[in-house]
Amino acid sequence: MARRKEYKEEEVIEKAMELFWRNGYESTSVRMLEKAMGINQFSMYSSFGSKQGVFLESIKCYEGKIQGIIEKLRNSTNGIEGIKTFFYDSIKTSSDCNNPKGCLITNTSNEFAESGDKAITEQIVRFTTVIKEIFIEKLREGDIKDEELLIKQANYLLIAKQGLSVAAKVFGQKELNDYIEITFRDF
């Protein structure tokens, strides 16, 4: 017995995500969001509660967007090679132009590192933990490994992946390829 929404939340949030991805949280204003999403502030706030609400939903949307390559990593059966492919897939996502560069999760982790925002930090930690566990799982498929070396290597790869995402915003394709090649040269 009432009027229907003229937009779908899943659709407008995608536009929001791209904006946050490109500019970060603070540099994206609610006015910019309403233009990009094609809805006005009232609708935004009634659908997502707050700017932070839009942002958290954007992160979920992003996770959905990259779920494909994460599943690919998870289902890979060639150990360390699967992780290497994951690295290449990651920068490929952001190199189809018109897409922002870098990784939204990593960008966010950086922007909020010192702020200590709880809801956002939690999202990031959760995501990072998932990736690390997959790395460990894949590394376990490899040759002789004592547990300690395994953790060491997982930490290395996790930070390397994070570094890659950051580097992708600034460095060129050749530099990134050089980086990945040497990262995996001795596994």
Partner DNA sequence: AATATAACTAAGCAAGAGCTTAGGAAAGAT
Partner DNA sequence: ATCTTTCCTAAGCTCTTGCTTAGTTATATT
> Could you tell me which residues come within 8 angstroms of residue 27 by beta carbon, excluding any fewer than 6 positions away?
none
Q: Which of helix, strand or coil describes residue 184?
A: coil
> Could you tell me which residues come within 8 angstroms of residue 51 by beta carbon, excluding any fewer than 6 positions away?
30, 33
133 touching a copy of itself, by CB under 8 A: no
Report the partner that residue 155 touches, choosing among a copy of itself, DNA, none (CB closer than 5 to 8 A by kind). Answer: a copy of itself
Report the partner that residue 111 touches, choosing among a copy of itself, DNA, none (CB closer than 5 to 8 A by kind). Answer: a copy of itself
First to last CA, the chain: 63
107 touching a copy of itself, by CB under 8 A: yes
Among 9, 24, 47, 65, indicate the residue that binds a copy of itself (CB under 8 A). Answer: 24
Dist. CA 100–CA 22, nearest whole Å = 5
Nearest distance, CB of residue 112 and DNA, angstroms: 14
Among 9, 22, 45, 63, indicate the residue that binds DNA (CB under 7 A). Answer: 45
Among 113, 126, 130, 133, indicate the residue that binds a copy of itself (CB under 8 A). Answer: 113
Q: What is the DSSP letter of 99?
A: S
What are the tokens at 169?
């915003």
Closest CA to 16 of 65, 72, 70: 65
Q: What is the DSSP string of 139-170?
A: HHTSSS--HHHHHHHHHHHHHHHHHHHHHTTT
Site for DNA in 119-148 (CB under 7 A): none
Among 27, 29, 50, 129, indicate the residue that binds a copy of itself (CB under 8 A). Answer: 27
Nearest distance, CB of residue 166 and a copy of itself, angstroms: 5
Q: How many CB atoms lie within 10 A of CB 5?
A: 11
Report the partner that residue 130 touches, choosing among a copy of itself, DNA, none (CB closer than 5 to 8 A by kind). Answer: none
Provide the binding-site residues for DNA, judged by CB under 7 A. Answer: 1-7, 28-32, 39-43, 45-46, 50-52
